[in-house]
């Protein structure tokens, strides 16, 4: 390269710069990945017992009442893990809870939930977001789904719906029957309850706080 | 394209292998559009094929066919350009052909299983044999392993050819980028019960493909195509290419953070994701400017020499390259920037807004240039010196671009309503979702999306007809 050529039109200069910038971005990404992995690894049952907050709690979180409350400190809503409550009429052991979550997560993939619904906001847009589905007012005592499925608890109502979705149509757009077994349905409910306890930085905003019709026409 | 099996002016086996990949790519492209039409119709008529061929199945094949046809066309483009850049035949011709047939057989089996089996029980076996239920990378684990083997064969072939042949800047970027592109696929080949960890690595593939390595791939193809079509000066094109690599990787790699706002990952991704993804449109503007600059410059040089007419030796290919330069900026850049800031994204995340961006970005950034590469390959196959756009080329380009733009605008309007009503007003519950889905803005948007999807499909039919006939007709005209 002759001395008269500007560095700005020098291929070696841009090649070196591209390599340095890419290398820097990759190193930073890998470093942040290690940090993030540490923060999103599942907590333990002891964390739950001792009230240690984890971004992704242990599977035994299904033994606790979960709510979604405004945090003044963080400026958005966060899942709050409260008192113990029975799940399908009992308290799940560490092994049972892990097994339920395992079958639930596997079922969520093998039944292709993500190609109609969104999970943590990712997926398809044909059906409601499932991030905080466990906390949806539709499934609460005041909602319509318990009476419709004839069940007395939220978890039983959701499980019954998942086994026979097209038996309980709520809209013209229905969930199809996917051959979900009662065991898989229990697992899916555990998976949904666990997902609702994940700290998603306030997504979705204002979930379940507004009930009723829209003002838009 | 089909007759090219018999009448072939291509001097290198590598280019013929490229044509084999292009033929499968165009078939899968058609499958993608067909599945999209079914899914779009199901939004409006939910009873359509209910419990026979549900939305989830149509949608899975729609996006999987998209990813696979693009990978096919990308591999085809590489095999096509390798002899031009390295000045020699690809090293392993027989193994490259074998890999093609293995991959094509595997893809056929995977698609048939998607369509016929659809869902399995909640077991590991389903993940291994049917599909993984992870958007875009649904391929079952056995197919993952097969894909890795085939891609290794492909990569070895390209890399060895690069080492033995001439090492141009374009090829250097190509082999380095392909290494990253192929390696990233490995980050998706595991199972975890932790959905946050699952989605963290899932985005490593999806984002670092479509917003980093695929973009650099497009830059490399554009560089090659500009040299081929308008005779752009290699030094200038290669310098631009390195600047594009710098900007694309500099913004795109950490831009990954914009997928980590709400999946359980820490808050610092808000700042990192917002900052770097906001920079992502910059290289896309640069690429657009670069294409127009080179085109204008070469045309000007030709005029100054007293030559008449266009410097392009391939009209339809250039049309799609320019459509790519602008579509990439508009679809990936503008539509992406719309909802990349966390303050906006908390409401838009997972709505039809995302869908609008997805359609225009995949089309603008990738479909366009890959179609351009197909025209380039057809020109080479028939040995056409000057390939002019036919009526069919023009109608195909117009209807496809108009159709995709129409779908995008329709989905943007639907998404806007969904964001305001479902997310902002009613707080994203089951009820809120359906209230928003049933409002006229949503329904009419979805109806226009289907209409524009049909327009796109007709354009696609013209495109296939044109690709099948343009080379032969131009060749005949050249002889006459």
B114 and A CB contact within 8 Å: no
Stretch B110-120: mean pLDDT, rounded? 95
Of B144, B166, B188, which marks where a domain is finished?
B166
Of B149, B166, B183, which marks where a domain is finished?
B166
Which pLDDT belongs to residue B7?
53
pLDDT digits (tens, 9 = 90+) for B213-249: 999 999 999 999 999 999 999 999 999 999 999 999 9
For residue A204, say if its preceding peptide bond is cis, omega within 30 degrees of 0.
yes
Quote the CA–CA distance of A95 and A100 in Å, as a whole number.
Answer: 9
SS3 category, B159: helix
Run of H or E residues at B458 = helix B440-479
The total number of structural domains that make up chain B:
2
A205 and B CB contact within 8 Å: yes
Residues from chain B that touch A207, judged by Cβ atoms under 8 A, are: 427-429
For A26, nearest residue in chain B (alpha carbons): B253
A202 and B CB contact within 8 Å: yes
Boundaries of domain holding B109: 10-166
Count of beta carbons in the 10 Å neighbourhood of residue A5: 10
Residues from chain A that touch B339, judged by Cβ atoms under 8 A, are: none
Tell me if B425 and A215 make a contact (CB, 8 A cut-off).
yes
Per-residue tokens: B323 = 């459509």
**CATH of range A44-196; options 1.10.3470, 3.40.50, 1.20.120, 1.10.760:** 1.10.760
Do B80 and B14 meet the contact criterion of CB atoms below 8 Å apart? yes
What b/e string do you get for B387-414 counting C-beta neighbours within 10 Å, with b at 16 or more?
bebbebbebbbebbbebbbbbbbbbbbb
Q: Which position has the token pair 């657009």?
A: B288
- The phi, psi pair for B51, rounded to 5°, reads 60, 15
Of B118, B135, B263, the CB nearest to A114: B135
Is residue B267 assigned to a domain?
A: no
pLDDT digits (tens, 9 = 90+) for A127-149: 999 999 999 999 999 899 999 99
pLDDT digits (tens, 9 = 90+) for B425-440: 999 999 999 999 999 9
Q: What is the mean pLDDT of chain B?
A: 94
Alpha helices in A50-181 (DSSP H): 94-110, 145-149, 154-163
Is residue B213 assigned to a domain?
A: no
Q: Which position has the token pair 């999807």?
A: B453
Which pLDDT belongs to residue B433?
96
Mutation target to probe the A interface, by most A beta carbons within 10 A, among B51, B56, B274 is B56
Question: In the structure, what pLDDT confidence band is assigned to residue B4 with cuts at 50, 70 and 90?
Answer: very low
Of B141, B166, B191, which marks where a domain is finished?
B166
Is residue B104 assigned to a domain?
A: yes
Per-residue tokens: A24 = 């820097």
SS3 category, A119: strand
Contacts of residue B365, defined as CB under 8 A and 6 or more positions apart, other chains included, come to B210, B214, B215, B218, B324, B327, B328, B331, B332
Is residue B182 assigned to a domain?
A: no
Per-residue tokens: B59 = 């949608």
Per-residue tokens: B233 = 């000066």
Question: In the structure, what pLDDT confidence band is assigned to residue A3 with cuts at 50, 70 and 90?
Answer: low
Output the CA torsion B202→B206→B211→B213 (10° steps): 100
Per-residue tokens: B80 = 């096509």
Quote the CA–CA distance of A1 and A20 in Å, as a whole number.
Answer: 21
Do B48 and B54 meet the contact criterion of CB atoms below 8 Å apart? no
Stretch A22-37: mean pLDDT, rounded? 97
DSSP secondary structure string for all residues of B46-107 = TTTTTTTS-HHHHHHHHHHHHHHHHHHHHHHHHHHHHHHHHSS--S-HHHHHHHHHHHHHHH
Give A 99-118 residues with CB within 8 A of chain B.
101-116, 118
Q: Which position has the token pair 């709690």?
A: A57
Tell me if B56 and A115 make a contact (CB, 8 A cut-off).
yes
Do A119 and A131 meet the contact criterion of CB atoms below 8 Å apart? yes
Question: In the structure, what pLDDT confidence band is assigned to residue B209 with cuts at 50, 70 and 90?
Answer: very high
A31 and B CB contact within 8 Å: no
Which pLDDT belongs to residue A4?
66
Quote the CA–CA distance of B174 and B168 in Å, as a whole number.
Answer: 10
A17 and B CB contact within 8 Å: yes
Is residue B229 assigned to a domain?
A: no
Decide if pLDDT at B207 tops 60.
Answer: yes
B233 and A CB contact within 8 Å: no
Decide if pLDDT at A1 tops 80.
Answer: no
Which pLDDT belongs to residue B5?
47
For B180, nearest residue in chain A (alpha carbons): A26
pLDDT digits (tens, 9 = 90+) for B7-35: 578 889 999 999 999 999 999 999 999 99
Count of beta carbons in the 10 Å neighbourhood of residue B238: 20
- Indicate if the alpha-carbon torsion angle B86, B92, B97, B100 is positive or negative: negative
Count of positions (residues) in chain A: 217
Stretch A34-44: mean pLDDT, rounded? 97
What residues form DSSP beta bridges with A67?
A80
- Indicate if the alpha-carbon torsion angle B335, B351, B345, A211 is positive or negative: positive
Tell me if B428 and A207 make a contact (CB, 8 A cut-off).
yes
ipTM for the predicted complex: 0.96
Question: In the structure, what pLDDT confidence band is assigned to residue A213 with cuts at 50, 70 and 90?
Answer: confident
Per-residue tokens: B420 = 């305001």
Q: Which position has the token pair 């979180």?
A: A61
Q: What percent of chain B has pLDDT over 90?
A: 93
Tell me if B120 and A114 make a contact (CB, 8 A cut-off).
no
Quote the CA–CA distance of B434 and B127 in Å, as a whole number.
Answer: 31
Per-residue tokens: B39 = 């899914």
B115 and A CB contact within 8 Å: no
Q: What is the mean pLDDT of chain A?
A: 94
Whole-model pTM?
0.95
Is residue B198 assigned to a domain?
A: no
Run of H or E residues at A77 = strand A76-84
Would you list the domain boundaries of chain A? Answer: 14-39, 44-196
């Amino acid at each position: 390269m002759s001395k008269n050529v500007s560095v700005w039109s020098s291929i070696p200069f841009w090649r070196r710069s591209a390599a340095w910038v890419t290398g820097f971005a990759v190193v930073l990404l890998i470093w942040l990945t290690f940090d993030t992995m540490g923060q999103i690894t599942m907590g333990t049952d002891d964390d739950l017992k001792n009230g240690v907050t984890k971004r992704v709690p242990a599977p035994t979180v299904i033994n606790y009442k979960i709510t979604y409350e405004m945090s003044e400190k963080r400026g958005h809503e966060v899942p709050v893990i409260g008192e113990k409550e029975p799940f399908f009429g009992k308290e799940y052991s560490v092994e049972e809870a892990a097994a339920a979550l395992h079958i639930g997560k596997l079922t969520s993939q093998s039944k292709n939930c993500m190609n109609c619904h969104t999970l943590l906001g990712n997926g398809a847009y044909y059906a409601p977001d499932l991030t905080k589905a466990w906390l949806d007012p539709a499934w609460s005592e005041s909602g319509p789904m318990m009476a419709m499925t004839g069940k007395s608890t939220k978890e039983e109502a959701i499980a019954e719906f998942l086994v026979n979705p097209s038996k309980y149509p709520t809209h013209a757009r229905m969930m199809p029957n996917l051959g979900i077994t009662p065991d898989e349905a229990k697992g899916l409910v555990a998976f949904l309850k666990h997902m609702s306890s994940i700290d998603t930085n306030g997504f979705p905003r204002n979930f379940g706080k507004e009930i009723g019709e829209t003002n838009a026409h | 394209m089909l007759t090219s099996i018999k009448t072939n002016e291509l001097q290198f086996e590598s280019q013929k292998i490229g044509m084999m990949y292009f033929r499968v790519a165009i078939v899968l492209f058609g499958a993608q559009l067909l599945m999209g039409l079914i899914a779009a119709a199901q939004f409006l008529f939910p009873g359509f094929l209910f419990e026979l061929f549900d939305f989830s199945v149509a949608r899975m094949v729609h996006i999987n066919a998209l990813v696979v046809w693009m990978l096919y066309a990308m591999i085809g483009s590489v095999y096509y350009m390798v002899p031009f850049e390295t000045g020699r035949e690809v090293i392993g011709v027989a193994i490259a052909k074998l890999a093609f047939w293995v991959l094509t057989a595997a893809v056929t089996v995977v698609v048939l299983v998607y369509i016929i089996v659809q869902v399995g029980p909640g077991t590991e076996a389903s993940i291994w044999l049917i599909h993984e239920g992870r958007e875009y990378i649904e391929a079952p684990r056995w197919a993952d392993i097969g894909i890795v083997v085939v891609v290794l064969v492909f990569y070895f072939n390209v890399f060895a050819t690069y080492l033995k042949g001439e090492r141009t800047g374009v090829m250097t970027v190509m082999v380095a980028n392909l290494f990253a592109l192929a390696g990233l696929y490995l980050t998706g080949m595991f199972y975890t019960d932790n959905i946050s960890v699952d989605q963290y690595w899932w985005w490593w593939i999806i984002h670092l493909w479509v917003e980093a390595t695929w973009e650099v791939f497009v830059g490399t193809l554009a560089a090659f195509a500009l040299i081929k079509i308008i005779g752009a000066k290699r030094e200038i094109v290669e310098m631009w290419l390195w600047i594009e690599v710098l900007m694309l990787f500099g913004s795109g790699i950490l831009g990954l953070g914009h997928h980590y706002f709400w999946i359980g990952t820490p808050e610092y991704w808000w700042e990192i994701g917002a900052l770097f993804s906001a920079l992502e449109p910059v290289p896309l503007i640069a690429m657009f400017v670069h294409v127009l600059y080179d085109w204008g410059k070469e045309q000007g040089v030709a005029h100054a020499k007293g030559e008449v007419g266009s410097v392009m030796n391939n009209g339809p290919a250039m049309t799609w390259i320019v459509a790519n330069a602008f579509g990439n900026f508009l679809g990936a850049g503008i539509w992406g920037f719309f909802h990349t800031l966390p303050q906006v994204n908390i409401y838009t995340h997972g709505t039809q807004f995302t869908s609008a961006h997805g359609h225009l970005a995949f089309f603008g950034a990738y479909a366009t240039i890959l179609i351009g590469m197909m025209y380039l390959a057809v020109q080479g196959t028939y040995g056409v010196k000057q390939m002019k756009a036919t009526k069919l080329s023009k109608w195909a380009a117009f209807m496809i671009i108009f159709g995709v733009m129409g779908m995008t605008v329709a989905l943007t309007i639907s998404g806007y309503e969904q964001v305001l009503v479902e997310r902002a007003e009613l707080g994203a519950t089951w009820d809120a979702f359906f209230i928003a889905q049933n409002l006229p803005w949503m329904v009419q948007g979805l109806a226009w999306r289907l209409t524009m999807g049909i327009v796109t499909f007709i354009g696609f039919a013209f495109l296939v007809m044109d690709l099948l006939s343009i080379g032969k007709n131009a060749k005949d005209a050249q002889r006459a």
